[in-house]
Amino acid sequence: MGGKRPVVRLCPVCHSRNIERASALSGWLTPDEYICLDCGYRGPVVLEVELVEDEGSGEVD
């Protein structure tokens, strides 16, 4: 199977998936900035993790 794997963005502090872009203009003239809604982290660094499908069950890990 070719193609891109789905990517999940995680907070670098608490590893939560509950992270979003700081504003609609973030990334336009300045680097993307993200906010973690769980721990309050705000910054340009996030963890991007590729999801891998489990071949036996068809589930995503």
The model's pLDDT over 10-42, given as tens digits with 9 standing for 90+, comes to: 999 999 999 999 988 777 788 899 999 999 999
If one compares 55 and 11, the residue with the highest pLDDT of the two is 11
Whether the Cβ atoms of residue 26 and residue 44 lie closer than 8 Å to each other = no
Output the pLDDT for position 55.
Answer: 65
Joined tokens for residue 7: 């990517």
* Residues in CB range of 55: below 8 A, 6 or more apart: none
Q: Where are the domains of the chain?
A: 7-50
Output the pLDDT for position 53.
Answer: 73
Output the pLDDT for position 24.
Answer: 80
> What whole-number distance in Å separates Cα of residue 36 and Cα of residue 10?
9
> Would the pLDDT of 58 be above 60?
no
- Looking at the DSSP bridge assignments, the partners of residue 47 are 10
